[in-house]
């Protein structure tokens, strides 16, 4: 992924969005004003209803821009966590497997081979458990799920507006759908952008 932009790098009304749907590189993108979405009566009504349910005004440019910047922050944080964990943990079973190819397969003692298999299996299980725990911590974080739920709904509204004739670019808001870990928790605290703290 591209280097993370700071708030100082973004101009008014900009957020970080993907360059293309399948391209993981992020570039500054311009917010489509709420009045463009609201120009479609069906979208205006849906935005008001879902906004009440998700505790956000989808037609308020400042609120949506903040949500889009939080969504990017969440995605970057999740990516760094996953990559960092994988690079630290996955080499252990791979090194042990390589050791098997180079040396351990020639052992004649069954007890030594069984001990090796046990250590290798244990390293795989521990690696998978650590990865699962990190993933659960990232995906299960209720305040961050709240952000994802809002982002998922905003994407749906933007695509609905585009399909009904509003002047919305094809891939706006330049991120993919959230197939999971996007449940709305009304009691979850609101997350602040790093520069707001």
- The predicted-structure confidence for 99-127, as pLDDT tens digits, reads as follows 776 777 777 788 888 888 888 888 888 88
Q: Within a domain: residue 102?
A: no
Q: Within a domain: residue 127?
A: no
- Which residue range forms the structural domain that includes residue 181? 7-88+143-196
Task: Say which residue, 185 or 107, is predicted with more confidence.
Answer: 185
Q: Within a domain: residue 64?
A: yes
* Residue 81 CA, distance from chain mean position: 11
Q: Within a domain: residue 11?
A: yes
Q: Within a domain: residue 99?
A: no
Q: Within a domain: residue 105?
A: no
Is omega for the bond preceding 86 within 30 degrees of 0, making it cis? no
- Three-state SS at 15: strand
pTM of the model: 0.78
Q: Within a domain: residue 72?
A: yes
**Count: domains in the chain:** 1
Q: Within a domain: residue 70?
A: yes
CA gap 187, 146 in Å, rounded: 10
Query: What single DSSP character describes residue 90?
Result: T
């Amino acid at each position: 992924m591209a280097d993370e932009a700071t708030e100082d790098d973004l101009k008014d009304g900009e957020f970080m969005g993907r360059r293309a749907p399948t391209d993981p590189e992020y570039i500054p993108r311009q917010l489509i004003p709420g009045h463009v979405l609201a120009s479609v009566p069906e979208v205006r009504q849906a935005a008001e209803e879902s906004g009440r349910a998700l505790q956000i005004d989808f037609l308020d440019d400042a609120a949506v821009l903040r949500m889009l910047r939080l969504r990017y922050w969440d995605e970057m944080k999740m990516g760094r966590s996953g990559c960092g964990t994988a690079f630290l943990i996955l080499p252990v079973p791979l090194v042990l497997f390589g050791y098997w190819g180079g040396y351990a397969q020639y052992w004649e003692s069954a007890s030594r081979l069984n001990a090796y298999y046990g250590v290798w299996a244990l390293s795989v299980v521990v690696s998978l458990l650590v990865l699962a725990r990190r993933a659960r911590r990232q995906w299960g974080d209720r305040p961050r799920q709240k952000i994802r739920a809002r982002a998922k709904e905003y994407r749906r509204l933007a695509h609905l507006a585009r399909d009904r004739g509003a002047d919305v670019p094809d891939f706006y808001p330049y991120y993919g759908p959230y197939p999971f870990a996007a449940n709305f928790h009304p009691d979850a605290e609101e997350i602040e952008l790093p520069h707001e703290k």
